[in-house]
Amino acid sequence: MLIFAHRGASGTEPENTLRAIQVALDMDVAGIEIDIHEVDNILYVIHDRWLHRTTSGTGKITQHNTKYLQDLDAGLGEKIPTLDEVLLLVAGKCIINIELKGISNIELLFSYLDSALENSPLILDNILLSSFNHHLLYHINQQRPEFALGALTSCIPLEYAKFATQLNAYSIHASVNFIDQALVDDAHKRGLKVFVYTVDELDDIKEMQALGVDGIFSNFPTRIKDVTPF
Ligand code: G3P
Ligand code: MG
CB contact set of 58 (below 8 Å; sequence gap of 6+): 51, 52
Residue 16 has pLDDT above 70, yes or no: yes
Q: Is the pTM of this model over 0.95?
A: yes
Q: Tell me how far the alpha carbon of residue 33 lies from the centroid of ligand 2, in angstroms.
A: 6
For 53, list phi and psi in degrees, rounded to 5: -70, -40
| pLDDT value for 227 | 42
Given its phi and psi angles, is residue 213 left (phi above 0), alpha (psi -120 to 50 degrees) or beta? beta
Taking only the tens place, the pLDDT of each residue in 95-154 is: 999 999 999 999 999 999 999 999 999 999 999 999 999 999 999 999 999 999 999 999
| pLDDT value for 204 | 95
Cβ pair 72, 79 in contact under 8 A? yes
| pLDDT value for 225 | 57
Is the bond leading into 198 cis (omega within 30 degrees of zero)? yes
Q: Tell me how far the alpha carbon of residue 47 lies from the centroid of ligand 2, in angstroms.
A: 7
Q: Which residues line ligand 1 (CB under 6 A)?
A: 6, 33, 35, 47, 99, 130, 152, 173, 197-198, 217
Residue 5 has pLDDT above 80, yes or no: yes
Spatial distance between the Cα atoms of 156 and 70, rounded to a whole number of angstroms:
39
47 CA: nearest ligand 1 atom: 9
6 classed as catalytic: yes
Domains and CATH numbers, the chain: 2-226 (3.20.20.190)
| pLDDT value for 224 | 74
- Residue 190 CB-half CA count within 13 A: 23
CB contact set of 55 (below 8 Å; sequence gap of 6+): 46, 72, 73, 74, 75, 80
| pLDDT value for 223 | 82
Paired sense of beta strands 193-197 and 148-153, if any: unpaired
Of 206, 188, 196, which Cα lies nearest the Cα of 4? 196
Taking only the tens place, the pLDDT of each residue in 25-39 is: 999 999 999 999 999
Ligand 1, residues 50, 95, 217, 218: which to mutate, most atoms within 8 A of Cβ?
Answer: 217
Taking only the tens place, the pLDDT of each residue in 34-83 is: 999 999 999 999 999 999 999 999 999 999 999 999 999 999 999 999 99
Taking only the tens place, the pLDDT of each residue in 176-229 is: 999 999 999 999 999 999 999 999 999 999 999 999 999 999 999 988 754 443
Taking only the tens place, the pLDDT of each residue in 153-167 is: 999 999 999 999 999
DSSP classification of residue 49: S
| pLDDT value for 228 | 41
Q: Tell me how far the alpha carbon of residue 217 lies from the centroid of ligand 1, in angstroms.
A: 9
